[in-house]
């Protein structure tokens, strides 16, 4: 079975977490989606590239989530979510997924 690239998992977690929170009107439910995808991505980052890489990319994932809030005030919510998801996906691809 083919593996889903970690870049896709991480980007989906950020976009999906926001989407779930917005459409369900339950922010904690969006947080569950965000955290679940982040945990899956972190596990794969650790397995494929080691603990230091997993820690760095996990930190970037959390920073992207936090940074999307002030960015949203400047460019809008969806553009902000897509921008930070793209940044995390690009970093994940460059550091982990590109190796395959």
Cα–Cα dist 73/89, whole Å: 22
Q: What is the pLDDT of residue 1?
A: 47
Phi, psi of 34 (to 5 degrees): -60, -50
Asked if 69 and 27 count as a contact pair (C-beta separation under 8 A), the reply is no
Tokens linked to 50 = 């080691």
In percent, the amount of the chain with pLDDT more than 90 equals 93
Mean pLDDT of the chain: 95
Q: What is the pLDDT of residue 2?
A: 55
């Amino acid at each position: 079975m083919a593996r889903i690239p970690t870049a896709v998992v991480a980007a989906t977690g950020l976009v999906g977490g926001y989407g779930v929170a917005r459409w369900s009107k339950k922010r904690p439910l969006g947080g569950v989606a965000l955290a679940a995808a982040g945990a899956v991505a972190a596990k794969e980052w650790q397995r494929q590239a080691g603990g230091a890489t997993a820690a760095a990319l996990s930190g970037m994932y959390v920073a992207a989530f936090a940074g999307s809030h002030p960015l949203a005030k400047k460019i809008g919510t969806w553009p902000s979510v897509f921008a930070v998801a793209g940044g995390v996906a690009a970093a994940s691809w460059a550091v982990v997924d590109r190796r395959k």
